[in-house]
Amino acid sequence: MPELPEVEIVRQSLNKKIKHKKILRVIIRNRNLRFKIPLNFESYLKKKKIIKVDRYSKYLILNISDNSFCMIHLGMSGTIHIIDKKKLSRLTNTSFYKSPFLPKKHNHVEIIFNNFRVIYNDPRRFGFIQIIKNKEELKKRFKYLGPEPFDNKFNTDYVYNYFNKRKKNIKNFLIDQNFVSGIGNIYANEILFLSKINPSKNANLLSKPDCNRIIYYSRKVLLKAIEKGGSSIQNFKNTSGVEGNFQKNFNVYQREGLVCKTNGCTNLISKNIISKRSTFFCNSCQK
């Protein structure tokens, strides 16, 4: 599943291409995504202008000229591809996960602009596309999500008080979107390694300095991932020819059995399953 950095890369790619552009028409090939695309979706977007593309957590938000919004969530396997008539490049993916080229199957939604098309592909169909009519509805849509790691609300008091009397392990909290929005499994592993906290440790046992490290490294890891173009296990270039290579900076993720990168540590990286997610850590460095 794409996490916050990967979705941010998609946002940047889309915003650069569709900002201030008018939608000519929309083609729906399959309405049966996680939430069914309504019958008036095509007519609603037709001739509308995209003001800009925003993001909250893992959600893309297209700001439309009539003050409504088109919200896109990529789910487990969704990708967005740009097909440009003026550029004959085979690279179409706006980010760095899944295929760099437009697949032949599962191209469910096509948004047509002048000289280019934006295509939503999703083999597993856990993603969705929705129209949100106004800002009030948009706020309600995110009501139950926690703050983003970059938000000022994600501070020491918030984190420490949230953990108080909660015995769930810290790894589960970091991937809980009700606690903090946008962190997924890959980055939770990296954040906890740099914070020197064992992923199985109960959150209520964490001190304020522990919480401060989590806040600091959450921001640092995600910003670095965005700078590096996100994590691409397949390692390929996007539509701009830029390579996503944060995976080259992994300290623990997918490094089971390899020597810890901490200077002076000779311990091997271990792997456990926490809440059905692969969890990588150093038993020596992370307490």
Catalytic residue set: 2-3, 58, 277
Strands 277-281 and 270-274, bridge-based pairing: antiparallel
Name residue 94's amino acid. Answer: T
For the stretch 123-135, what's the b/e string if a residue is b when 16 or more beta carbons lie within 10 angstroms of its beta carbon? Answer: eebebbbbbbeee
**Three-state SS sequence of 169-227:** EHHHHHCCCCCCCCCCHHHHHHHHHHHCCCCCCEHHHCCHHHHHHHHHHHHHHHHHHHH
What gap in Å lies between CA 19 and CA 9, rounded to an integer?
15
Rounded to whole angstroms, how far apart are CA atoms 106 and 156? 44
SS3 string of 66-96? CCCEEEEECCCCCEEEEEECCCCCCCCECCC
Contact by Cβ (8 Å): 37, 31: yes
Specify the DSSP class assigned to residue 17. H
Kindly list the strands in the beta sheet with 50-56, ordered across the sheet, starting from the edge strand earlier in the chain. 50-56, 59-64, 69-73, 128-132
Specify the residue for token string 């889309």: 14
Q: How far apart are CA 86 and CA 182, in angstroms?
A: 35
